Amino acid sequence: MPAPLDDAPVLCGLLDHARGGHFTLAPEGLREARQFYEPDTGVLVTELRAATGVVRITDALSLRSGADLTDDVPAGRGELVRSARVLDGHVRLRAELEPRGGARTRALFSGLEVLPSGRPGLRLHLRSNRPLDGLRTVHELRQGERLDVVLS
């Protein structure tokens, strides 16, 4: 069953920084950031410079093959893909998913099931190419290494 259009958003940190929820990938010791879109796409690239290195985060919304894009179908047709690659040096990269109002998690073979509080019909799936100890993890990455995180 699709979520009603007037349901509260799960991730709206831009509107309410304190309680809005967020999905963050960021290096410790952040000093500088710049963003741009890949030409002619909706792919967002963020380059973050930390005290010890530079990381590039690429964000893209992918749609499942054959997805029905009409307005009145359930939202389970795509996923947010976040890929971080260290361009120079090394970083301690913090990965956090905090849905608005909190969430419960359950370990799955392929990642974590995330059950946002106050949204009983919504089940999210978080998976990564590196171990996820919960909704907040820190990964030590060196030049050329990656962290890929997918939220569906």
Domain membership of residue 137 (yes or no) is yes
Domain membership of residue 2 (yes or no) is no
Domain membership of residue 88 (yes or no) is yes
The contacts of residue 8 (CB under 8 Å, 6+ apart) are 100, 101, 118, 119
Predicted local confidence at residue 36, as pLDDT: 96
DSSP state of 132: -
Domain membership of residue 105 (yes or no) is yes
Domain residues for 79? Answer: 22-64+73-147
Query: How far apart (Å, rounded) are the C-alpha atoms in residues 134 and 125?
Result: 12
The contacts of residue 142 (CB under 8 Å, 6+ apart) are 86, 89, 90
Residue 82 buriedness (CB in 10 A; 0-12 / 13-18 / 19+): buried
Residue 114 reports pLDDT greater than 70: yes
Q: Tell me the pairing of strands 124-128 and 136-142.
A: unpaired
List pLDDT tens digits, range 40-71: 989 999 999 999 999 999 999 887 666 665 65
* Single pTM value for the model: 0.81
The string of DSSP letters for 101-127 reads T-EEEEEETTEEEEEETT-TT--EEEE
Q: What are phi and psi of 5, to 5 degrees?
A: -65, -20
Q: Rg of the chain over CA atoms, in angstroms?
A: 16
Most confident stretch, 107-111, 128-132, 139-143: 139-143
Q: How many domains does the chain have?
A: 1
Domain membership of residue 28 (yes or no) is yes
Query: How far apart (Å, rounded) are the C-alpha atoms in residues 66 and 75?
Result: 14
Domain membership of residue 54 (yes or no) is yes
Query: How far apart (Å, rounded) are the C-alpha atoms in residues 88 and 77?
Result: 35
